[in-house]
């Protein structure tokens, strides 16, 4: 585990996990901001999606994933899952926070409020995120004082579409049309992508909604927070170093690997089994 020796800690990887492949949208931002850092990514596809699961089960799954990342030497853990973050980061930080910093996701309501011109924003999230207190807190903190109306919706099936690599399938577009049309009718001009899977759906979202709807997500903010925490501790990997990406899944690597390759726009993707 990372200890008081900052030099030793700096050489360890960033650990990232999600319920599935969606957290690769966060990994993309981490690699863009911190190209020298090694990253270990765990896709818990055997239990995806997390959204419909009760909070206690989500906590247990998060603890299992975090324990695996720590066993692989992670110096920081990024919870690249809105549902897991919404279910409560406190238990995870209570369990592992003394060993490493833990970064969670906050729905990107604040930047959406800054961008809207109509005074209405949409939030596309999972059932777990909508149930959690975190979304309500950021709405109360940023949207309500600004007089911005928030239209929140969850649509079962979108996470599964990304997991299957069916990003622009007719069924995916139909699901998006079902959720976006009421938001557009309500006047929303900014859409918060409240699940790490959803940034991969930007092209079909634009096709359905047109150019008038802007989208925001939490990936850049998470990458910046990760860099800040590592900087504070002197745990940044010194440059020059070509950061490596190790990919694991609790599901079938033969199925998950090709989807990861497509989402990362890379041909040399190797996905291994976690269990």
Which one of the listed residues 48, 62, 195, 271 is annotated catalytic? 195
If you search the block for the tokens 């981490």, which residue do you land on? Answer: 30
**Residue 162 C-beta-side C-alpha neighbours within 13 Å:** 29
**Residue 37 C-beta-side C-alpha neighbours within 13 Å:** 27
| Residue 24 neighbours by CB under 8 Å, 6+ apart | 18, 41, 43, 196, 200, 260, 263, 264
For the question of residue 271 being annotated catalytic, the response is no
In whole angstroms, what is the distance from residue 115 CA to residue 271 CA? Answer: 38
Which one of the listed residues 48, 62, 81, 271 is annotated catalytic? 81
**Residue 223 C-beta-side C-alpha neighbours within 13 Å:** 19
Work out the angle at residue 104's Cα, subtended by the Cα atoms of residues 57 and 108, and round it to the nearest 5 degrees.
115
For the question of residue 195 being annotated catalytic, the response is yes
**Residue 21 C-beta-side C-alpha neighbours within 13 Å:** 27
Widest Cα–Cα separation across the chain? 56
Q: Which residues are catalytic?
A: 81, 195
């Amino acid at each position: 585990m990372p200890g008081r020796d900052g030099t030793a800690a700096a050489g360890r990887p960033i650990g990232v996990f999600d319920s599935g492949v969606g957290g690769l949208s966060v990994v993309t931002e981490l690699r863009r901001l911190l190209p020298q850092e090694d990253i270990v990514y765990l896709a818990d596809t055997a239990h995806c999606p997390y959204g419909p699961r009760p909070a206690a089960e989500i906590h247990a799954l998060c603890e299992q994933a975090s324990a695996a990342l720590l066993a692989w030497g992670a110096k920081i853990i990024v919870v690249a899952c809105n549902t897991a973050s919404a279910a409560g980061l406190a238990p995870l930080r209570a369990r592992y926070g003394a060993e490493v910093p833990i970064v969670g996701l906050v729905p990107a309501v604040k930047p959406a409020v800054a961008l809207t011109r109509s005074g209405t924003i949409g939030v596309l999230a999972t059932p777990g995120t909508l149930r959690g207190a975190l979304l309500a807190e950021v709405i109360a903190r940023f949207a309500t004082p600004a007089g911005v109306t928030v239209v929140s919706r969850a649509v079962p099936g979108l996470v599964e579409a990304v997991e299957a690599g069916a990003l622009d399938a007719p069924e995916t577009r139909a699901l998006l049309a079902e959720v976006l049309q009421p938001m557009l009718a309500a006047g929303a001009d900014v859409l918060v992508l409240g699940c790490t899977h959803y940034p991969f759906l930007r092209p079909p979202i634009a096709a359905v909604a047109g150019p008038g709807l802007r989208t925001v997500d939490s990936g850049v903010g998470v990458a910046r927070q990760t860099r800040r925490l590592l900087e504070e501790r002197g745990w940044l990997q010194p440059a020059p170093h070509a950061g490596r990406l190790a990919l694991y899944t609790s599901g079938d690597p033969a199925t998950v690997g090709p989807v990861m390759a497509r989402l990362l726009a890379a041909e040399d993707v190797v996905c291994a089994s976690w269990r």
